[in-house]
Amino acid sequence: MLNGNARQVTDQLVESFDQVVSSGDLFLSKSLDEAHGIAHEIVEAGYPVVLTGGGDGTFVQMVTSITKEAKSRGQQPPRFGLLKLGTGNSLAWALGAGTSGEDVIADLARLSEQSAHRDFRLIEVQDLLTPFAGAGFDALGLKHFHEVRALLRHLPIVGKRATGALSYAISIPTRTIPELAIRRQMQVRIVNRGSEIIKLDRNGQATGTPIPSGEIVFEGVCIAALVSTIPYWGFGVKVFPFAESRPADRFCLRVVATHPLHVAAHMLSVWKGTYRHDDLLDFYADDVELEFDERTAIEIGGDPAGMTRSMRARLHPDPIRLIDYRAI
Protein backbone atom coordinates (compact mmCIF):
# COMPACT_ATOMS: atom_id res chain seq x y z
CA MET A 1 0.00 0.00 0.00
CA LEU A 2 1.62 3.23 -1.16
CA ASN A 3 0.92 6.70 0.17
CA GLY A 4 0.27 8.68 -2.99
CA ASN A 5 1.14 11.90 -1.17
CA ALA A 6 4.65 10.76 -0.23
CA ARG A 7 7.32 12.74 -2.11
CA GLN A 8 9.16 9.64 -3.34
CA VAL A 9 6.00 7.95 -4.65
CA THR A 10 6.32 9.04 -8.28
CA ASP A 11 4.69 7.63 -11.42
CA GLN A 12 8.02 6.02 -12.30
CA LEU A 13 8.24 4.34 -8.89
CA VAL A 14 4.66 3.06 -9.14
CA GLU A 15 5.52 1.55 -12.54
CA SER A 16 8.57 -0.13 -10.99
CA PHE A 17 6.40 -1.57 -8.23
CA ASP A 18 3.94 -2.86 -10.82
CA GLN A 19 6.74 -4.94 -12.33
CA VAL A 20 7.49 -6.60 -8.98
CA VAL A 21 4.05 -6.90 -7.38
CA SER A 22 1.35 -9.20 -8.76
CA SER A 23 -1.50 -7.52 -10.61
CA GLY A 24 -4.19 -6.24 -8.27
CA ASP A 25 -1.97 -6.38 -5.19
CA LEU A 26 -0.72 -2.79 -5.40
CA PHE A 27 -2.85 -0.17 -3.66
CA LEU A 28 -2.38 3.60 -3.86
CA SER A 29 -4.02 5.90 -1.31
CA LYS A 30 -4.19 9.69 -1.21
CA SER A 31 -6.59 10.18 1.72
CA LEU A 32 -7.55 8.63 5.05
CA ASP A 33 -10.91 7.53 3.66
CA GLU A 34 -9.16 5.70 0.83
CA ALA A 35 -6.75 4.12 3.33
CA HIS A 36 -9.62 2.82 5.47
CA GLY A 37 -11.29 1.35 2.39
CA ILE A 38 -8.05 -0.32 1.35
CA ALA A 39 -7.65 -1.78 4.85
CA HIS A 40 -11.10 -3.37 4.50
CA GLU A 41 -10.14 -4.86 1.11
CA ILE A 42 -6.84 -6.20 2.45
CA VAL A 43 -8.44 -8.01 5.38
CA GLU A 44 -11.29 -9.26 3.18
CA ALA A 45 -8.78 -10.74 0.71
CA GLY A 46 -6.73 -12.38 3.48
CA TYR A 47 -3.30 -11.12 2.42
CA PRO A 48 -0.60 -12.76 4.60
CA VAL A 49 1.85 -9.84 4.25
CA VAL A 50 1.12 -6.11 3.91
CA LEU A 51 3.81 -3.56 3.07
CA THR A 52 3.26 0.15 3.64
CA GLY A 53 5.11 2.61 1.42
CA GLY A 54 5.37 6.03 3.03
CA GLY A 55 6.55 7.46 6.30
CA ASP A 56 5.81 6.46 9.87
CA GLY A 57 2.41 8.15 9.66
CA THR A 58 1.37 5.92 6.75
CA PHE A 59 2.43 2.86 8.73
CA VAL A 60 0.48 4.02 11.81
CA GLN A 61 -2.74 4.64 9.89
CA MET A 62 -2.65 1.37 7.93
CA VAL A 63 -1.60 -0.88 10.82
CA THR A 64 -4.30 0.65 13.02
CA SER A 65 -7.03 0.26 10.38
CA ILE A 66 -6.03 -3.28 9.36
CA THR A 67 -5.59 -4.49 12.95
CA LYS A 68 -9.00 -3.14 13.99
CA GLU A 69 -10.67 -4.59 10.90
CA ALA A 70 -9.08 -8.01 11.47
CA LYS A 71 -10.05 -8.00 15.15
CA SER A 72 -13.67 -7.16 14.30
CA ARG A 73 -13.72 -10.29 12.11
CA GLY A 74 -11.96 -12.50 14.64
CA GLN A 75 -8.95 -12.85 12.30
CA GLN A 76 -5.24 -12.61 12.96
CA PRO A 77 -3.74 -9.47 11.37
CA PRO A 78 -1.22 -10.06 8.57
CA ARG A 79 2.49 -9.52 8.93
CA PHE A 80 3.56 -5.98 8.18
CA GLY A 81 6.60 -4.48 6.50
CA LEU A 82 7.79 -0.95 5.88
CA LEU A 83 9.06 0.51 2.62
CA LYS A 84 10.85 3.81 3.25
CA LEU A 85 9.14 6.31 0.98
CA GLY A 86 8.23 9.14 3.33
CA THR A 87 9.83 11.64 5.68
CA GLY A 88 11.69 10.66 8.84
CA ASN A 89 11.04 6.91 8.77
CA SER A 90 12.14 6.04 12.29
CA LEU A 91 10.87 2.49 11.77
CA ALA A 92 13.08 2.04 8.70
CA TRP A 93 16.10 2.67 10.92
CA ALA A 94 14.83 0.24 13.55
CA LEU A 95 14.08 -2.54 11.06
CA GLY A 96 17.02 -2.15 8.68
CA ALA A 97 14.86 -1.17 5.69
CA GLY A 98 16.45 0.49 2.67
CA THR A 99 16.86 4.26 2.69
CA SER A 100 16.71 5.10 -1.03
CA GLY A 101 14.32 4.46 -3.90
CA GLU A 102 16.62 1.78 -5.31
CA ASP A 103 16.90 0.13 -1.89
CA VAL A 104 13.11 0.06 -1.55
CA ILE A 105 12.68 -1.81 -4.84
CA ALA A 106 15.43 -4.23 -3.76
CA ASP A 107 13.72 -4.75 -0.39
CA LEU A 108 10.44 -5.50 -2.14
CA ALA A 109 12.00 -7.92 -4.63
CA ARG A 110 13.63 -10.08 -1.95
CA LEU A 111 10.57 -10.39 0.26
CA SER A 112 8.47 -13.53 0.32
CA GLU A 113 5.59 -14.92 2.36
CA GLN A 114 8.20 -16.78 4.43
CA SER A 115 10.36 -13.72 5.14
CA ALA A 116 11.66 -13.52 8.71
CA HIS A 117 9.64 -11.45 11.11
CA ARG A 118 9.68 -10.47 14.76
CA ASP A 119 7.00 -9.60 17.26
CA PHE A 120 6.80 -5.87 17.80
CA ARG A 121 4.94 -3.87 20.42
CA LEU A 122 3.09 -0.67 19.62
CA ILE A 123 1.59 2.01 21.84
CA GLU A 124 -2.09 2.94 21.68
CA VAL A 125 -2.40 6.74 21.66
CA GLN A 126 -5.73 8.47 20.93
CA ASP A 127 -7.03 5.25 19.25
CA LEU A 128 -3.98 4.91 16.98
CA LEU A 129 -1.30 2.20 17.17
CA THR A 130 2.12 3.81 16.93
CA PRO A 131 5.78 3.12 17.77
CA PHE A 132 6.17 6.63 19.24
CA ALA A 133 4.27 9.79 20.18
CA GLY A 134 4.80 12.91 22.22
CA ALA A 135 4.02 16.46 23.21
CA GLY A 136 6.28 19.49 23.26
CA PHE A 137 9.27 20.15 21.03
CA ASP A 138 8.61 17.16 18.77
CA ALA A 139 5.09 18.34 17.90
CA LEU A 140 6.29 21.95 17.53
CA GLY A 141 9.25 20.79 15.46
CA LEU A 142 6.92 18.92 13.10
CA LYS A 143 4.82 22.05 12.62
CA HIS A 144 7.91 24.10 11.77
CA PHE A 145 9.25 21.34 9.53
CA HIS A 146 6.11 21.31 7.39
CA GLU A 147 6.13 25.11 7.14
CA VAL A 148 9.79 25.24 6.07
CA ARG A 149 9.44 22.37 3.62
CA ALA A 150 6.41 24.03 1.99
CA LEU A 151 8.41 27.25 1.63
CA LEU A 152 11.47 25.52 0.18
CA ARG A 153 9.41 23.64 -2.38
CA HIS A 154 8.28 26.93 -3.89
CA LEU A 155 11.84 28.17 -4.39
CA PRO A 156 13.56 27.74 -7.78
CA ILE A 157 16.37 25.16 -7.95
CA VAL A 158 16.30 24.54 -4.18
CA GLY A 159 12.71 23.27 -4.30
CA LYS A 160 13.65 20.21 -6.32
CA ARG A 161 16.29 19.31 -3.73
CA ALA A 162 14.26 20.16 -0.63
CA THR A 163 14.58 16.87 1.19
CA GLY A 164 13.06 16.16 4.58
CA ALA A 165 16.50 16.17 6.19
CA LEU A 166 17.28 19.62 4.78
CA SER A 167 13.96 21.00 5.99
CA TYR A 168 14.60 19.65 9.50
CA ALA A 169 18.17 20.98 9.47
CA ILE A 170 16.82 24.46 8.75
CA SER A 171 13.65 24.46 10.84
CA ILE A 172 14.94 23.09 14.16
CA PRO A 173 17.79 25.60 14.80
CA THR A 174 16.06 28.60 13.18
CA ARG A 175 12.44 28.10 14.26
CA THR A 176 11.91 25.45 16.93
CA ILE A 177 14.79 26.09 19.34
CA PRO A 178 14.38 29.91 19.34
CA GLU A 179 10.64 29.63 19.94
CA LEU A 180 11.13 27.17 22.79
CA ALA A 181 13.68 29.50 24.36
CA ILE A 182 11.25 32.41 24.65
CA ARG A 183 7.82 30.82 24.97
CA ARG A 184 6.16 29.58 28.15
CA GLN A 185 7.25 26.00 28.75
CA MET A 186 4.78 23.14 28.73
CA GLN A 187 3.25 22.29 32.12
CA VAL A 188 2.39 18.60 32.43
CA ARG A 189 1.39 16.07 35.04
CA ILE A 190 2.14 12.45 34.17
CA VAL A 191 0.16 9.82 36.09
CA ASN A 192 0.82 6.07 36.13
CA ARG A 193 -2.34 4.26 35.00
CA GLY A 194 -0.82 0.81 34.69
CA SER A 195 1.79 -1.48 36.22
CA GLU A 196 4.67 -0.24 38.36
CA ILE A 197 6.89 2.21 36.51
CA ILE A 198 10.66 1.75 36.58
CA LYS A 199 12.82 4.87 36.82
CA LEU A 200 16.17 4.74 35.02
CA ASP A 201 19.51 6.34 35.79
CA ARG A 202 21.85 7.97 33.26
CA ASN A 203 23.05 4.54 32.11
CA GLY A 204 19.57 3.12 31.61
CA GLN A 205 19.67 1.03 34.77
CA ALA A 206 16.75 0.76 37.20
CA THR A 207 17.07 3.11 40.15
CA GLY A 208 14.97 4.05 43.16
CA THR A 209 11.61 2.64 44.18
CA PRO A 210 9.14 1.63 41.43
CA ILE A 211 6.22 4.02 41.02
CA PRO A 212 2.87 2.31 41.73
CA SER A 213 -0.34 2.72 39.74
CA GLY A 214 -2.19 5.95 40.40
CA GLU A 215 0.90 7.85 41.51
CA ILE A 216 2.34 10.93 39.82
CA VAL A 217 5.42 10.14 37.73
CA PHE A 218 6.27 13.76 36.92
CA GLU A 219 4.69 17.14 37.51
CA GLY A 220 6.20 20.40 36.34
CA VAL A 221 7.49 22.23 33.30
CA CYS A 222 9.38 20.55 30.47
CA ILE A 223 10.02 21.01 26.77
CA ALA A 224 8.88 17.50 25.81
CA ALA A 225 7.19 14.37 27.11
CA LEU A 226 7.70 11.39 24.80
CA VAL A 227 6.82 7.68 24.59
CA SER A 228 8.34 5.05 22.29
CA THR A 229 9.08 1.36 21.77
CA ILE A 230 11.94 2.06 19.33
CA PRO A 231 15.25 3.95 19.75
CA TYR A 232 14.87 6.34 16.82
CA TRP A 233 13.07 9.51 15.92
CA GLY A 234 13.19 10.58 12.26
CA PHE A 235 16.44 10.45 10.26
CA GLY A 236 18.12 8.10 12.73
CA VAL A 237 18.08 10.52 15.69
CA LYS A 238 18.45 8.24 18.72
CA VAL A 239 16.04 10.01 21.07
CA PHE A 240 15.33 6.83 23.07
CA PRO A 241 18.74 5.21 23.69
CA PHE A 242 17.34 2.78 26.28
CA ALA A 243 14.57 1.39 24.06
CA GLU A 244 16.66 -1.56 22.92
CA SER A 245 17.04 -2.72 26.53
CA ARG A 246 13.43 -2.20 27.60
CA PRO A 247 11.38 -5.14 28.93
CA ALA A 248 8.97 -6.56 26.36
CA ASP A 249 6.00 -5.43 28.44
CA ARG A 250 7.07 -1.79 28.71
CA PHE A 251 7.63 1.27 26.53
CA CYS A 252 10.06 4.13 27.09
CA LEU A 253 8.82 7.33 28.70
CA ARG A 254 11.19 10.30 28.42
CA VAL A 255 10.65 13.73 29.98
CA VAL A 256 12.95 16.48 28.70
CA ALA A 257 13.03 19.16 31.41
CA THR A 258 16.36 20.64 30.34
CA HIS A 259 16.60 24.16 28.88
CA PRO A 260 16.11 24.18 25.09
CA LEU A 261 19.35 26.10 24.54
CA HIS A 262 21.26 23.39 26.41
CA VAL A 263 19.69 20.78 24.15
CA ALA A 264 20.58 22.89 21.09
CA ALA A 265 24.20 23.14 22.22
CA HIS A 266 24.43 19.35 22.43
CA MET A 267 22.58 18.37 19.25
CA LEU A 268 25.32 15.98 18.14
CA SER A 269 25.07 13.95 21.35
CA VAL A 270 21.26 14.10 21.12
CA TRP A 271 21.53 12.68 17.60
CA LYS A 272 23.82 9.87 18.74
CA GLY A 273 21.76 9.05 21.83
CA THR A 274 24.55 9.96 24.25
CA TYR A 275 23.02 13.18 25.63
CA ARG A 276 22.67 13.03 29.43
CA HIS A 277 21.43 15.57 31.99
CA ASP A 278 19.95 15.47 35.49
CA ASP A 279 16.75 16.97 34.06
CA LEU A 280 16.49 14.34 31.34
CA LEU A 281 14.23 11.72 32.95
CA ASP A 282 13.72 8.19 31.65
CA PHE A 283 11.24 5.49 32.69
CA TYR A 284 9.85 2.14 31.58
CA ALA A 285 6.04 2.16 31.70
CA ASP A 286 3.03 0.42 30.16
CA ASP A 287 0.21 2.93 30.69
CA VAL A 288 0.48 6.64 31.44
CA GLU A 289 -1.76 9.68 31.18
CA LEU A 290 -0.34 13.09 30.35
CA GLU A 291 -2.43 15.99 31.66
CA PHE A 292 -1.63 19.49 30.36
CA ASP A 293 -2.61 22.80 31.96
CA GLU A 294 -3.71 24.09 28.54
CA ARG A 295 -4.43 22.71 25.10
CA THR A 296 -1.14 21.37 23.79
CA ALA A 297 0.04 20.13 20.39
CA ILE A 298 0.85 16.42 20.17
CA GLU A 299 2.26 14.17 17.47
CA ILE A 300 1.55 10.50 16.83
CA GLY A 301 3.90 8.50 14.65
CA GLY A 302 5.54 11.66 13.35
CA ASP A 303 2.29 13.27 12.20
CA PRO A 304 0.65 16.26 13.90
CA ALA A 305 -2.37 15.06 15.91
CA GLY A 306 -3.99 18.32 16.93
CA MET A 307 -4.34 20.07 20.28
CA THR A 308 -5.47 18.38 23.49
CA ARG A 309 -5.60 18.75 27.28
CA SER A 310 -4.64 15.11 27.84
CA MET A 311 -2.91 12.21 26.12
CA ARG A 312 -3.22 8.55 27.15
CA ALA A 313 -0.46 6.15 26.10
CA ARG A 314 -0.98 2.42 26.67
CA LEU A 315 1.09 -0.51 25.49
CA HIS A 316 -1.11 -2.40 23.04
CA PRO A 317 -1.69 -5.92 24.42
CA ASP A 318 -1.17 -7.76 21.13
CA PRO A 319 2.21 -7.63 19.38
CA ILE A 320 2.18 -7.21 15.62
CA ARG A 321 4.45 -9.23 13.35
CA LEU A 322 6.95 -7.06 11.49
CA ILE A 323 9.27 -8.01 8.62
CA ASP A 324 12.87 -7.92 9.87
CA TYR A 325 15.00 -6.82 6.90
CA ARG A 326 18.22 -7.63 8.73
CA ALA A 327 17.23 -11.30 8.76
CA ILE A 328 16.33 -11.53 5.07
Q: In percent, how much of the chain has pLDDT > 70?
A: 88
Quote the CA–CA distance of 206 and 210 in Å, as a whole number.
9
Higher pLDDT, 308 or 111: 308
Task: Choose from 107-121, 160-174, 282-296 the range with maximum mean pLDDT.
Answer: 282-296
Look at 176 and 314; give whichever has higher pLDDT: 314
- The DSSP call for residue 247 is -
Contact 133, 125 (CB under 8 A): yes
Question: CA 82 from chain center: how many Å?
Answer: 12
Is the pLDDT confidence value at 295 over 90?
yes
Which amino acid does the sequence have at 257?
A
Among 137-151, 184-198, 251-265, 299-313, the least confident range: 137-151
Q: Are 20 and 101 in contact (CB under 8 A)?
A: no
Average pLDDT value for the chain = 87
Domain architecture of the chain: domains with CATH: 2-115 (3.40.50.10330), 132-316 (2.60.200.40)
pLDDT in tens, 305-314: 999 999 999 9
CA pseudo-torsion sign 69, 84, 13, 30? positive
Q: What is the DSSP letter of 55?
A: -
Which ranges of 46-119 does DSSP label H, i.e. alpha helix?
56-72, 90-95, 101-109
Q: Which residues contact 160 (CB under 8 A, 6 or more apart)?
A: none
What per-residue confidence (pLDDT) applies to 207?
98
- Mean of pLDDT values over 76-88: 81
Check residue 94 and give its pLDDT: 75
